[in-house]
């Protein structure tokens, strides 16, 4: 079980609260040792002197106090002396024994004394002195009401609440820029470069981190732009000679038609590879979101693929809700999945959709009946330029699944591959119901 919080916010509040608790304990011990203890000792000392005065004229063996002396002393000082029976009637029965005060009083009076404290409408010390064990001396203490300590308790509680509340506000203010930084980093991870973050708020360390992040994001943005420009230039420069080669091959003599057909097929393959490169570099988030019926999109693509003379089996959830998607990008995902299934298998192709309410996600599943992919190759298939012939015996640019994953990641979804128990590869794509940003 983890006791310490994991977040910096929680750790800051916990640290300040813990230091506050230590401070309160030290304050309490300091007050107890340097204020309360000397005060109680002084009170005991003064009460002991008063008791000595009461019995100053009494005999040493069997001290007996006269009623007149007792009355006059009580009127002058408020201190009263009772025998055991009368003391019980006057409040001794409700008094509580205190060993600490009894020990101190015994030391002051040089004998075995007993101290009890009455806490009724007024505080009073009851002392049985060693000079006259048959008597109880009642010393009233004014100004020690039980409610006198409530302001101190309220003050301590108020200080604790204000300290923890201030720590919470401070930590929240300190961590707010980190929250923005986290969201911006997630956007960069999805391929979307956010605008520069505000680097004017927060501590100097956080400001330095934000400025470094802005510099990094700007560098990534320039790198992406340069890469896209380079790819566009390469594709343009390649297509021009390919077009000339195609035109030249068309003018070849009929006996050399087999050479011409081979050249044309190679040119088509090269154009397809160039298109895949451009698709991989294309920023799919430039397309706006729109409400899309995934079942309708699948039916449209399946109808277009009927020319392949392959059998498509669809299991589409009729209660599938509409979802905010980039329609052209998702259509590219479906096209690539169906092309892979057609290329790497000969049997039927199954397409399924569904809605997982607990996860608030739709799923799209495409299964072929081909040889599948070895388990140790699964994770590598999403890496760019991973050749298909390493997995299922065919050539290609190795960008098909990388393009799919890039589009799915841009929709904050997920994609997984696994081999079906009865043969064939299954590709499952999850898309969240909430709109992607």
User: How far is Cα 435 from Cα 410, in angstroms, rounded to an integer?
Assistant: 11
pLDDT tens per residue across span 393-416? 445 556 778 888 888 888 888 998
CA-nearest of 271, 266, 234, 275 to 400 is 275
- Does residue 391 register a pLDDT over 50? no
What residues are paired with 127 via a beta bridge? 115, 137
Q: State both tokens at 135.
A: 């008597």
Pairing of strands 312-315, 349-356: parallel
- Does residue 4 register a pLDDT over 70? no
- Does residue 146 register a pLDDT over 50? no
Task: Indicate the range of 17-31, 112-126, 313-327 predicted with least confidence.
Answer: 17-31
pLDDT tens per residue across span 86-109? 888 888 888 888 888 888 888 888
**What does the pLDDT average to over 273-297?**
74
Question: DSSP per residue over 204-224, as a string?
Answer: HHHHHHHHHHHHHHHHHHHHH
CB contact burial 276-290 (16+ within 10 A = b; e otherwise): bbebbbbebbeeeee
| Integer Rg of the chain from CA | 45
**What does the pLDDT average to over 109-121?**
82
Reported as a pLDDT band with limits 50, 70 and 90, residue 356 is: confident
User: How far is Cα 231 from Cα 277, in angstroms, rounded to an integer?
Assistant: 8
pLDDT tens per residue across span 10-40? 667 677 777 777 877 777 777 777 766 777 7
pLDDT of residue 1: 47
- Does residue 58 register a pLDDT over 70? no
123 SS3 class: strand
What residues are paired with 100 via a beta bridge? none
Residue 235: CB atoms within 10 Å: 16
Decide: 184 and 194 in contact? Cβ < 8 Å.
yes
User: How far is Cα 437 from Cα 429, in angstroms, rounded to an integer?
Assistant: 19
CB contact burial 255-264 (16+ within 10 A = b; e otherwise): eeeeebeebe
Task: Indicate the range of 41-55, 127-141, 178-192 predicted with least confidence.
Answer: 41-55
Domains in the chain (CATH in brackets) are 8-144 (3.30.450), 240-281 (1.10.287.130), 286-432 (3.30.565.10)
Average pLDDT of the chain, as a whole number: 77
Decide: 314 and 349 in contact? Cβ < 8 Å.
no
Decide: 358 and 432 in contact? Cβ < 8 Å.
no
């Amino acid at each position: 079980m983890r006791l310490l919080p994991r977040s910096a916010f929680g750790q800051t509040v916990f640290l300040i609260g813990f230091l506050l608790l230590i401070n309160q304990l030290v304050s309490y011990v300091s007050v107890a040792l340097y204020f309360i203890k000397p005060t109680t000792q002084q009170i005991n000392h003064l009460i002991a002197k008063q008791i000595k005065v009461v019995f100053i004229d009494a005999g040493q063996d069997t001290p007996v106090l006269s009623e007149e002396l007792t009355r006059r002393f009580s009127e002058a000082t408020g201190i009263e002396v009772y025998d055991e029976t009368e003391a019980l009637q006057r409040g001794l029965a409700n008094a509580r024994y205190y060993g600490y005060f009894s020990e101190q009083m015994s030391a002051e009076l040089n004998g075995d004394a007993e101290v009890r404290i009455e806490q009724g409408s007024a505080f009073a010390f009851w002392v049985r002195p060693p000079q006259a064990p048959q008597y109880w001396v009642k010393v009233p203490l004014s100004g020690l009401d039980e409610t006198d300590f409530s302001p101190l308790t309220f003050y301590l509680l108020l200080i604790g609440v204000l300290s923890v509340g201030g720590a919470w506000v401070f930590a929240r203010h300190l961590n707010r820029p980190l929250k923005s930084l986290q969201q911006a980093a997630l956007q960069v991870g999805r391929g979307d470069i956010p605008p520069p973050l505000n680097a004017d708020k927060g501590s100097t360390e956080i400001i330095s981190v934000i400025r470094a992040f802005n510099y990094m994001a700007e560098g990534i943005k320039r790198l992406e732009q340069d890469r896209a420009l380079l790819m566009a230039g390469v594709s343009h420069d390649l297509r021009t000679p390919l077009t000339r080669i195609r035109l030249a091959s068309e003018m070849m003599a009929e006996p050399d038609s087999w050479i011409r057909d081979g050249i044309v097929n190679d040119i088509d393959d090269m154009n397809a590879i160039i298109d895949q490169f451009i698709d991989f570099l294309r920023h799919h988030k430039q397309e706006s979101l729109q409400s899309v019926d995934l079942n309708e999109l699948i039916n449209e693509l399946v109808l277009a693929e009927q020319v392949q003379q392959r059998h498509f089996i669809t299991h589409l959830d009729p209660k599938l809700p509409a979802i905010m998607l980039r329609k052209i990008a998702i259509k590219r995902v479906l096209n690539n999945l169906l092309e892979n299934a057609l290329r790497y298998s000969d049997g039927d192709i199954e397409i399924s959709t569904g809605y997982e309410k607990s996860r608030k996600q739709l799923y799209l599943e495409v299964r072929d009946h081909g040889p599948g992919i070895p388990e140790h190759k699964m994770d590598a298939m999403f890496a760019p330029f991973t050749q298909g012939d390493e997995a299922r015996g065919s050539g290609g640019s190795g960008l098909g699944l990388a393009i799919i994953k890039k589009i799915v990641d841009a929709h904050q979804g997920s994609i997984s591959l696994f081999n079906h128990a009865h043969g064939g590869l299954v590709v499952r794509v999850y898309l969240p119901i909430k709109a992607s940003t």
